[in-house]
Amino acid sequence: MPKATAEIETPDRLEHIISKLKEREFRITPQRIAVLKILAESQEHPSAETIYEKVKKDFPTTSLATIYKTVTLAKALGEVMELGFSDGSNRYDGYNPSPHPHLICVQCKKILDPDLKDFQEMTRKIAKDSGFEIVNHRLDFFGVCPECRNIK
């Protein structure tokens, strides 16, 4: 079995995604592991291009298409959330693939997970008031981050 390089500590998220791929008998290549590791560990919501730039350092023959294939696979397995944007600059969250709100800087495009304690309660209230069973949601806050505001 191909394994990730010895020096890395294998965190639970990565283990979890890899075992899911194994269960479904998908090939586990070192390149795939490299992509999945970035997805599982990044809290910056990387784009496919960002993942590509990182993976390319260890695997120079990697193509952007390979990155997309692995991201799409992880997404199909429910292990990556895709944040789609109308300009096509999609970003990915494999660190936390369950639905949660995002905070987006319109200038530098950084994306954060805001800490919203009331959010579960809000979801419950919407479900209760409407009679809907809530299966997914998307909530994005757009603004200018402190770093970008200081430059201006």
Stretch 108-147 residues interacting with Zn ion (CB under 5 A): 108, 145
Decide: is 148 part of the binding site for Zn ion (CB under 5 A): yes
List, as one string, the DSSP characters of 86-117.
TTS--EEE-S--S---EEEETTT--EE----T
Tell me which of 21, 32, 55, 93 binds Mn ion, using CB under 5 A: 93
CA–CA dist 51, 66 (Å, integer)? 11
- Tokens representing 4 are 């990730």
Tell me which of 107, 122, 141, 143 binds Zn ion, using CB under 5 A: 107
In the complex, minimum distance from the CB of residue 45 to Mn ion, in angstroms, rounded to a whole number: 6
Identify the DSSP state of 82. E
Using the contact rule CB under 5 A, the part of the chain among 33-41, 58-66, 105-113, 118-126 near Mn ion is 105-113
Q: Give the strand pairing for 102-105 and 111-112.
A: antiparallel
Using the contact rule CB under 5 A, the part of the chain among 23-31, 32-40, 92-100, 119-127 near Mn ion is 92-100
Identify the DSSP state of 61. T
Which residues make up the interface to Mn ion (CB under 5 A)? 93, 113
Contact footprint for Zn ion (CB under 5 A):
105, 107-108, 145, 148
